[in-house]
Amino acid sequence: MKGVWWSNPIPKEVRAVVEALERLPKGAKKFGGTDGLCRTFAGLVDHTLLKPEAQPDEIRQACEEAARAGFASIVVNPCYVKLAAEKLNGTGVRVATVAGFPLGASCTEVKRHEAEQGLEDGASEVDMVIRVGALRAGDDEMVKDEIYELAELCHGHRAILKVILECALLTNKEKERGARLAVRAEADFVKTSTGFGPGGATREDVALLRSVVGRNAGVKAAGGIRTLAEACSMLAAGASRLGMSSSVSVLNELRGRASK
């Protein structure tokens, strides 16, 4: 599946990053050297710390890592949004949180409340999990209406909504339907996985989602991306954002290979 992104509407900056990664270390020259490539790559990454046992000091450390690297955002559980927002104030790194996470089986009102509280606490991105069972049962209106309600809320706060489909639980037809519903409900991104389900991101799922949403939404690959090769593979398949808990080690791998 090498080169899938050529036939898909991937942003030019992402295509440029993929080309550079595939031609390391020479590819870094296009970005002015290793530092430039690393900064550009970091800007495509959501630095993620959602494990239930995470402690405040770990959140603070993750915020420091995100600020140093210049990651697009840090993703934390709702109880840590205020802490992350205070820590990252003025750094340019966005704070993202989750709603209905990780099962998606909360009532719409609960997801809305979680999102609203997160936005009030300082989040500027929300990753919500759809009601997977409703999608599988064919209740498309329910799925779309829930996404729309959270999209309207987020956009009212000038925030981004990402919609997690949990692809490992869906057939390809269900993934396509879910992605179309997300676009119709005005979501900003569709996302492959929570990272807590039976499987994480795959090239095939990323390419499928990109083929469905086209230029109408971003595609976030998340779950099990732990190496530079895996990250590059997701970008090449059509991802425009990467959700990783191994962000720092992947960035260090990129820096090491680009500086040879």
Of residues 87, 144, 162, 220, which has the active-site annotation?
Answer: 220
C-beta separation of 219 from 242 below 8 A: no
Cross-strand pairs, 49: 76
User: Residue 208: in which H helix or E strand, if any?
Assistant: helix 203-213
Give residue-wise pLDDT tens across range 10-48. Answer: 778 899 999 999 999 999 999 999 999 999 999 999 999
Looking at residue 3, its pLDDT comes to 38
DSSP secondary structure string for all residues of 135-184: HHTT-HHHHHHHHHHHHHHHHHTT-EEEEE--GGGS-HHHHHHHHHHHHH
Of residues 46, 121, 127, 188, which has the active-site annotation?
Answer: 127
Please indicate whether residue 127 is annotated as part of the active site: yes
Of residues 111, 144, 162, 191, which has the active-site annotation?
Answer: 191
Give residue-wise pLDDT tens across range 84-119. Answer: 999 999 999 999 999 999 999 999 999 999 999 999
Exposed / middle / buried, residue 123 (Cβ in 10 Å: 0-12, 13-18, 19+): buried
Q: Is 189 helix (H, G, I), strand (E, B) or coil?
A: strand
C-beta separation of 47 from 60 below 8 A: no
Cα atoms in the 13 Å half-sphere on the side-chain side of 108 = 13
Give residue-wise pLDDT tens across range 157-186. Answer: 999 999 999 999 999 999 999 999 999 999
| Domains defined along the chain, listed by start | 46-248 (3.20.20.70)
pTM of whole model > 0.85?
yes
Alpha-carbon gap, residue 155 to 75, rounded angstroms: 18
